[in-house]
Amino acid sequence: MNAPTEGGLKSRYDAADLITQEVLKRYESTPDPRLREIMLSFIRHLHSFAKEVKLTSKEWAYTMNLLEETGKWCGPGRNEFIIFSDALGLSMLTVTQDYPRPAHTTEPTLVGPFLLENAPEFPLGADISAGAQGTPLFAQGTVRDVNGNPLPHAKIDVWHSDDRGLYDVQQDLETNGPWARALLTADAKGHYSFWSIMPVDYPVPQEGTAIIMLSNTTGRSWRPAHLHYRVQAQGQRPLVTHIFDRNSKNLDADAVFGVRPSLIADFVHHKGGTAPDGKVMDGDFYTLDYDFIMVPA
Amino acid sequence: MNAPTEGGLKSRYDAADLITQEVLKRYESTPDPRLREIMLSFIRHLHSFAKEVKLTSKEWAYTMNLLEETGKWCGPGRNEFIIFSDALGLSMLTVTQDYPRPAHTTEPTLVGPFLLENAPEFPLGADISAGAQGTPLFAQGTVRDVNGNPLPHAKIDVWHSDDRGLYDVQQDLETNGPWARALLTADAKGHYSFWSIMPVDYPVPQEGTAIIMLSNTTGRSWRPAHLHYRVQAQGQRPLVTHIFDRNSKNLDADAVFGVRPSLIADFVHHKGGTAPDGKVMDGDFYTLDYDFIMVPA
């Protein structure tokens, strides 16, 4: 007969501490120093969290199920785990601390789930909306280095929502092709310009596990209207950022914590007239001027 | 022209701290007090981890991709996230701290990914192996309360590997049906017994994302041979545990940290002869005696 016996532990919490020690000791054998550092820190914080809140088996099981369900919402153009990361502020935190920069350079913000590599190329000044619905917008500016000198031929990815708050990747990209998405090349003076349509405020995807989490916690699931940019220029650190519309009602409650005051800009409303590129507009349109100040690589 | 401006922050790490404060403030509005406690603690530890290791955007992107890939390995009878939780010691930690118990009661251990509800019922003493290959094993014992009194008619789920180290749920359960898996009911004296086959040491699943993580870190991906038990009796807290084979070579390096010394038992080897239930065996077999001491609900 094997009778259950055990040592003189004071409590189940002492026993839990011993498990943490055993796990950390095991992971100290991780060969790669950077992976070892990451694993040991992650395990320490994960265990500290579970102990601090006295996580129950039922709550643990709920979480394991939630993670599996979250996996089911992933697919082309959508990684539901990124939405969780964004909604918990982790994405913005990582972007911020991973981008050392002088104070007057353009702030980075999160990439979001909708960036595509190999976006369609357009000439400067072209209309990139490709049939997407919305009020016309003319955007322009100059890409500069940290000393204010223009950066010739900078590559600029831009992508944004239509007036329903949707992106092309949410609407059967293979059938309909990309829209409100472009790769531009700045001219010899670092200047860029394009026509598109005004982005609008929109909520994070309304089906999935992240929206359930947000509904049960902050209740804030909207993003203020913005354009996404990725700017790349020779000798410069790539910049991923947004430009936000100062008239948005959600600037103080971005579901993914992406807003920085320096990234809020005036999308200027015009009731018809001549646009900056000389085009004569019959109806409403907007203009936006924004320069990007890059950080040396 | 909207020129980028910002305040007088000393560094990107100060900026990261402000993000953490903003996120915590937002989640303080979570209505349910328990969910609020869990979210605030989780966010604090998640952000502390990311700051402590100065997580880079590239490492973050790798992790987001890893989570999406992990989701793809989930399906009936397999939740790859549970394997991660087990391998990081979180499952065992939660089980331990969530099970208050007097020192002489049976220790719990993790449930693992292979428990099925509605296991096939067998009478006491029956062979539950259902054709699975391995050396015969006769297991018996008594389910008792904290004072040593037998618990009549306790319900006992038992499940374990065959001699390849595989479980029925890993082998097309719908076609082949369950094997090495049973629901037993103890007799009026709390006694249980069954025939099955010896479990063997086995590695965690060799395909998937968890095994990659283990290969890159501890290099320990094996589990010592064990029987899984779930014991339920009236007025008692349900007990989920394993009984480990003292002859296993992996007792000190269980990939999922499930071994407790009190759960290691002697699986006694016999070269033929009469088994405890009177059955005469021509060849090798094993016997195991183990009593379960339950905790009052």
The predicted-structure confidence for B39-61, as pLDDT tens digits, reads as follows: 999 999 999 999 999 999 999 99
**Is the pLDDT at A9 greater than 90, yes or no?**
no
Q: Which of B231-241 are b and which e, b meaning 16 or more Cβ less than 10 Å from the residue's Cβ?
A: bbbeebbbbbb
Distance of alpha carbon A72 from alpha carbon A89, whole angstroms: 22
**Bridge partners of B288?**
B139
Q: How confident is the model at residue B6 (pLDDT cuts 50, 70, 90)?
A: very low
Q: What's this model's pTM, rounded to 2 decimal places?
A: 0.90
Distance of alpha carbon B295 from alpha carbon B240, whole angstroms: 12
Q: Could you give the ipTM of this predicted complex? A: 0.91
pLDDT given for residue A120 in this prediction: 97
Q: A16 and B97 in contact by Cβ < 8 A? A: yes
Q: B48 and A47 in contact by Cβ < 8 A? A: no
pLDDT, one tens digit per residue, over B102-116 is 989 999 999 988 889
CB A78 within 8 A of CB A72: no
pLDDT given for residue B4 in this prediction: 40
Interface test with B, best of A5, A26, A291 (most B CBs within 10 A): A26
CB B256 within 8 A of CB B269: no
Residue A64 has its nearest CB partner, among B6, B45, B81, at B81
List, in order, residues 6 or more apart from A272 with CB less than 8 Å away. Answer: A281, A282, A283, A284, A285
Residue of A nearest to B37 (CA): A53
Domain A80-293 CATH (choose: 2.60.130.10, 3.30.420.270, 1.10.1760.20, 3.10.20.440): 2.60.130.10
Residue of A nearest to B59 (CA): A94
Q: Render A192-231 in DSSP notation, one character per residue.
A: EEEEEE----EESPSSSSHHHHHHHTT---EE--EEEEEE
Contacts of A44 in chain B (CB under 8 A): 49
pLDDT, one tens digit per residue, over A224-248 is 999 999 999 999 999 999 999 999 9
Q: Is B37 in the A-facing interface, judged by CB distances under 8 Å?
A: yes
Q: What is the mean pLDDT of chain B?
A: 94
**Which DSSP category does B33 fall into?**
H
Q: Which two tokens stand for residue B276?
A: 């405890």
**CATH class of the domain comprising B80-296:** mainly beta
In chain B, % of residues over pLDDT 90: 88
Query: Domain coordinates of chain A in residue numbers?
Result: 12-55, 80-293
CB B281 within 8 A of CB B131: no
Residue of A nearest to B292 (CA): A4
What is the amino acid identity at position A17? Answer: D
Q: Which residue has the tokens 């997580």?
A: B55
Q: How confident is the model at residue A7 (pLDDT cuts 50, 70, 90)?
A: very low
In chain A, % of residues over pLDDT 90: 88
